[in-house]
């Protein structure tokens, strides 16, 4: 029992070390890229932002519009139409603090995490990464850095977009269903939507994006031998990304917002 626990702890530490190393490499390569410039890398970065962010915008709008309507409906049903301060406080707590970054990260894991792991696993088994190394192109610069930073950028933008849409959906429900004016709705939102709340949301979403892309890159690059390992790498990337995102969210919430 103790031996099995020790092996599991050792594997977890090695895994976290690999993830940390990939993130550090991404930032190190980004400094060199900013100095020298490398057009193919910028194209990979922009493609990652487009696939992770722009193509997921429709899902985010529909989902968070409904979330904003549902949350405000439940609050008003519980506390009454005159409870604007309570309405704003709960919306900020639920959407900006937790649900915005967390649910956006889950959507990105399902859409982009699997794609990153599958693509890198296929490239490795097909010998494309060996070809890059033969040509003198560091894989960390061309493959890892643009995917990690592109995913992190997209998650931040999507999260901000999701939170705005959720608040707008809440106002839509408040205005149409209960006739709550915009001024009263703003009085419940603005006092609680502080720079601290926004900063924590941005920090969560950015680090979620780093974790998701780093985990999926690591899983994609760890395959060996057979193409049957490609779906396994994608599955492990999704499950481990979810675990790390929820653990990180719990730690940030407990330490920063307690």
Instruction: For the chain, 258 residues long, give each residue's pLDDT as a single digit of tens.
Output: 666 677 778 888 888 888 999 898 888 888 766 555 567 788 888 899 999 989 999 999 899 988 888 887 887 777 665 666 677 777 778 888 888 999 999 999 999 999 999 999 998 888 888 888 888 778 878 888 999 999 999 999 999 999 988 888 877 777 776 666 667 667 767 777 788 888 999 999 999 999 999 999 999 988 887 888 888 999 999 999 999 999 999 999 888 766
Which structural domain range is residue 113 located in?
15-75+99-170+194-256
* pLDDT, position 37: 57
Query: Is residue 109 a part of any domain in this protein?
Result: yes
* pLDDT, position 84: 61
Distance CA 121, CA 241 (A): 16
Distance CA 120, CA 27 (A): 19
Query: Is residue 88 a part of any domain in this protein?
Result: no
Query: Is residue 94 a part of any domain in this protein?
Result: no
Query: Is residue 7 a part of any domain in this protein?
Result: no
Provide the domain count of the chain: 1
Do 130 and 247 form a contact (C-beta atoms < 8 A)?
A: no
* pLDDT, position 143: 87
Query: Is residue 58 a part of any domain in this protein?
Result: yes
* pLDDT, position 2: 64
User: Which tokens sit at 70?
Assistant: 């549902």
Query: Is residue 163 a part of any domain in this protein?
Result: yes
Query: Is residue 178 a part of any domain in this protein?
Result: no
Query: Is residue 64 a part of any domain in this protein?
Result: yes
């Amino acid at each position: 029992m103790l031996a099995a626990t020790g092996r599991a702890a050792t594997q977890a530490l090695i895994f976290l070390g690999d993830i940390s190393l990939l993130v550090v490499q991404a930032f190190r390569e980004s400094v060199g890229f900013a100095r020298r410039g490398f057009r193919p890398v910028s194209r990979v970065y922009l493609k990652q932002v487009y696939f992770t962010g722009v193509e997921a915008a429709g899902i985010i709008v529909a989902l968070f519009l409904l979330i904003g309507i549902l949350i405000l409906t439940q609050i008003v049903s519980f506390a009454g139409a005159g409870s604007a301060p309570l309405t704003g406080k709960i919306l900020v707590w639920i959407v900006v603090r937790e649900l915005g970054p967390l649910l956006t990260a889950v959507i990105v894991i399902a859409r982009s995490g699997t794609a990153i792991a599958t693509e890198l696993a296929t490239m490795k088994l097909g010998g494309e990464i060996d070809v890059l190394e033969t040509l003198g192109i560091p894989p960390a610069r061309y493959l890892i850095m643009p995917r990690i930073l592109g995913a992190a950028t997209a998650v931040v933008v999507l999260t901000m977009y999701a939170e705005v849409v959720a608040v707008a959906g809440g106002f839509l429900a408040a205005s149409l269903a209960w006739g709550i004016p915009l001024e009263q709705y703003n009085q419940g939102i603005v006092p609680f939507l502080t720079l601290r709340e926004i900063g924590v949301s941005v920090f969560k979403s950015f680090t979620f994006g780093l974790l998701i892309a780093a985990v999926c890159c690591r899983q994609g690059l760890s395959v060996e031998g057979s193409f049957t390992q490609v779906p396994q790498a994608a599955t492990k990337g999704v499950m481990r990304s979810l675990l790390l995102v929820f653990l990180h969210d719990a730690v940030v919430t407990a330490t920063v917002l307690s």
